[in-house]
Amino acid sequence: MSDPEFDRLAEAAMTRYAGVSRTAQGMLRGKLRADPMYRELLRLGVDTAPRLVDLGCGRGLLLSLILAARGSGARPALHGIEIDPAAARTAGRALGDAATIVQGDLAKEALPPCDVVTLLDVAHYLPVSVQDDLLVRIRAALPPGGRLFVREADAAAGAGFLAVRATERLAAIGRGDVLRRFAYRSAAEWSHRLEAAGFSVATTPMSGGTPFANVLMEARARA
């Protein structure tokens, strides 16, 4: 996808956020344009999924981008789960009846049947036992061949991982969440756990020239 084409889709996605503050709009627009993950997910065809669930959907940015990419075509069934009430409300207002947004805890919330699941920069907020249970529940929600996309920092990546960890810690302090615990894993461990849950896995570096050691894992449900 060319940059002009993606920029057009990004701006179309941003039209749904006219009601949020300029600061929030700037943050959302900057994330869409600077983070290579969004281009890669469109390249991998997440916008073509008939049913997609975004776990930890935040303000619904990925779901809005998918709707922009679909244009006037058949509307997919989009479902987002977000634990933060304010973010869930923003997503609900932005997406309206184009998506179902649920304010809930990923450790407890039921997952609807779907074709694609995204879990992007979220899993490290969950205890390891919850991560493993969530992978099993995701596999149960997907048909054979269904796909799960996970982006996480690679805890074995040295300085790149330390940059992620420091940034996350500073962000938690800024939110007043000074006691927040994180559960990071190496890319190899993530692959092992995904395979144990019933997936085959392909891993792609997803740092985009930043100092952060992020990877995007495409996990396909085995029969």
Full-model pTM: 0.95
Q: What percent of the chain has pLDDT over 70?
A: 99
Q: pLDDT by residue (tens digit) across 162-211?
A: 999 999 999 899 989 888 999 999 999 999 999 999 999 999 999 777 78
Residue 109 pLDDT > 70:
yes
Q: Rounded to the nearest 10 degrees, how much is the dihedral formed by the CA atoms of 57, 27, 167, 82? A: -20
Q: Rounded to the nearest 10 degrees, how much is the dihedral formed by the CA atoms of 223, 145, 83, 43? A: 160
Return the structure tokens found at 37.
Answer: 């993950």
Return the structure tokens found at 108.
Answer: 């407890």
SS3 labels along the chain = CCHHHHHHHHHHHHHHHCCCCHHHHHHHHHHHHHCHHHHHHHHCCHHHCCEEEEECCCCCHHHHHHHHHHCCCCCCEEEEEECCHHHHHHHHHHHHHHCEEEECCCCCCCCCCCCEEEEECCHHHCCHHHHHHHHHHHHHHCCCCCEEEEEEEECCCCHHHHHHHHHHHHHHHHCCCCCCCCCCECHHHHHHHHHHCCEEEEEEECCCCCCCCEEEEEEEECC
Q: pLDDT by residue (tens digit) across 13-54?
A: 999 999 999 999 999 999 999 899 999 999 999 999 999 999
pLDDT for position 2: 67
Residue 220 pLDDT > 80:
yes
Return the structure tokens found at 27.
Answer: 């943050």
Cα of first residue to Cα of last residue in the chain, in angstroms, is 31
Q: What percent of the chain has pLDDT over 90?
A: 87
pLDDT for position 1: 61
Residue 135 pLDDT > 70:
yes
Q: Residue 189 and residue 192: Cα distance in Å, rounded?
A: 5
Say which CATH superfamily domain 3-221 falls into: Vaccinia Virus protein VP39 (3.40.50.150)
In terms of residues, how long is the chain?
223
AA letter at 123: A
Task: Please state the domain extents for the chain.
Answer: 3-221
